[in-house]
Amino acid sequence: MVVVHRLLYVRRVIVTGAFLAESAAVVDNKLDVKGGVLSSYRVGPDRIAKLNLVVLTQAQAFDKDVRLNIEVVKPSGEIQAVQAAIPDVTLKGENGFAFFPVGLIAETDGRYVLVVTCGGSSVSITLKVTSQTPA
């Protein structure tokens, strides 16, 4: 008698990297980033940091409806959480990317931490926010 064990491999989308950029776009099916890997930002009178969150991923072609969890830890320790769907086109290949516009409302100056999680993996990004000083 031959016993066949059937193994079920379920591979989730994982985040392999993430960073903040001034702008991000897709050009010729490639990621085009300007002003990438930001670690500090000066907010204007509106106190909004206008950035792009760029996420690098690994996925199986059969993954569907994958969501990123994004937590923003403010200098006060308060946590604000949001979810973002990874676009279907990102799931068509093993290595992919996605980017999301972020309007971070920074009520106070200080260190903000973005924690991006998906499929059991996580990446933390720190951003030091300061006010513009009058000239």
Q: For residues 73 and 124, give the distance between their C-alpha atoms in angstroms, rounded to a whole number.
A: 10
> Taking 50 as the threshold, does the pLDDT of residue 8 lie above it?
no
For residue 90, name the pLDDT band (cuts at 50, 70, 90).
Answer: confident
Fold of the 14-131 domain: Immunoglobulin-like (2.60.40)
Q: Which residue has the tokens 């300061």?
A: 130
Domains in the chain: boundaries = 14-131
Tally of CB atoms within 10 A around 42: 12
Average of per-residue pLDDT across 65-87: 91
pLDDT, the chain, mean: 85
What integer pLDDT is reported at residue 12 of this predicted model? 67
pLDDT tens sequence across 13-35: 788 999 999 999 999 989 999 99
Task: Determine which helix (DSSP H) or strand (DSSP E) holds 99, and give its type and residue range.
Answer: strand 95-105
For residue 108, name the pLDDT band (cuts at 50, 70, 90).
Answer: very high
What integer pLDDT is reported at residue 69 of this predicted model? 93
Instruction: Tell me the percentage of the chain whose pLDDT exceeds 90.
Output: 64
Q: Looking at residue 88, what DSSP letter applies? A: G
